[in-house]
Copies of this chain bind each other. A is one copy, B any other.
């Protein structure tokens, strides 16, 4: 998505070879007008797929997903994080490792809000190793719901998450896919 790529080039900041800071418009300060354009793009991409619910994970996925829910006209569920083995009763849960932070969290969703027959679009701001998306996918499966696809704002395509999920037959639609990046040479997107 040209608009998002241009914004990343303008306002994103590469730190070392691995960290892309987009906290001026995505995950600390948010640009809701940009989120709407992203939502419209996913709506176009997943047209006719019958999506009736969006699933995301706290915290930085919530803003994008809420605006997407507005455009899709459907409810948005956000998975909550808890210290491992401390998830509430009557919930679907999965374990998610964060490589960036070196932490392990359980994520969970109340069994009330994911149901067989639901057609789910997972939305998140970033994909790198794909741990969060895999965890969310597991919740959808546990609930007996149908996963239509995964919408990601920024995919670090030089990390394995996206390709691993695609090779499992899951449709992953990332609006900006970074092929390589460095402080010296900047950001190159996948064509």
Which residues on B sit within 8 Å (CB–CB) of A29? 75-77, 110, 112-113
Please report the total number of A residues contacting B with Cβ < 8 Å: 31
Q: For A77, list chain B residues within 8 Å (CB).
A: 28-30
Instruction: Decide if A75 touches B31 in the complex (CB within 8 Å).
Output: yes
What residues on B are CB-neighbors of A25 within 8 Å?
Answer: 75
A63 CB-CB contact with B under 8 Å:
yes
Interface positions, chain A 1-50, Cβ under 8 Å from B, are 23-25, 28-33, 35-36
Q: Hey, which chain B residues are within 8 Å of A62, CB to CB?
A: 30, 58-59, 62-63, 66
Contact A70 B112 (CB under 8 A): no
Contact among B28, B33, B58, B112 for A110, CB-based, below 8 A: B28
Question: Does residue A73 face the partner (Cβ distance < 8 Å to B)?
Answer: yes
B-side contacts of A64, CB under 8 Å: 66
> Which residue of A24, A29, A59 has the most chain B CB atoms within 10 A of its CB atom?
A29
Which one of B67, B70, B113 lies within 8 Å of A24 (CB-CB)?
B113
Q: Does A65 contact B (CB under 8 A)?
A: yes
How would residues 106 to 127 of chain A score, 1 for a CB under 8 Å from any chain B CB and 0 otherwise?
A: 0001101100000000000000
B70 touches A36 (CB 8 A): yes
A174 CB, min distance to chain B CBs, angstroms: 20
Query: Which chain B residues lie closer than 8 Å to A36 at the CB level?
Result: 70
Instruction: Tell me the residues in window 113-170 of chain A with beta carbons closer than 8 Å to chain B beta carbons.
Output: 113
What are the residues of chain B within 8 A of A171 when measuring CB–CB? none
- Chain B residues with CB under 8 Å of A97's CB are none
> For A31, what are the chain B residues with a Cβ–Cβ distance below 8 Å?
75
User: In the bound complex, do residue B32 and residue A66 qualify as a contact, i.e. CB atoms below 8 Å apart?
Assistant: yes
